[in-house]
Amino acid sequence: MRYRLRLFITGRTPFSQRAIANLHEICEHELKGRCDVEIIDVLENPAAAEEDKILATPTLVRKLPEPVRKIIGDLSDLEKVYIGLDVTPSGSSTVRSGQ
């Protein structure tokens, strides 16, 4: 199953950077070779945020597989992220919940 993910951030804040790092870790360990990631800064592309009805950042949008799902936050709560992505963790992820 292929995943298409869009991460909406606002600038280069520490919160945004943590979300990007956490997403890369999750993709590398849990979705290796099965995901396409697009990072969108809403300051640079507000139309994309409006199109996906983004109200807060960072927000991860799972476009595929359907149905579309949204996860708000820096993605450090792995349980929430795995539920949102509908992924069963392999146990090899180095991302820590609550960081």
End-to-end CA distance of the chain: 29
- What is the H or E stretch that residue 25 is in? helix 14-30
- pLDDT per position as a tens digit, 48-98: 999 999 999 999 999 999 999 999 999 999 999 999 999 988 765 444 444
Two tokens, residue 70:
């949204």
Distance from C-alpha of 28 to C-alpha of 35, rounded to nearest angstrom:
9
Neighbours of 84 (CB within 10 A): 18
- For the stretch 7-48, pLDDT in tens is 999 999 999 999 999 999 999 999 998 999 999 999 999 999
Q: What's the pTM value of the predicted model, to 2 decimals?
A: 0.88
**Domains identified in the chain and CATH numbers:** 3-85 (3.40.30.10)
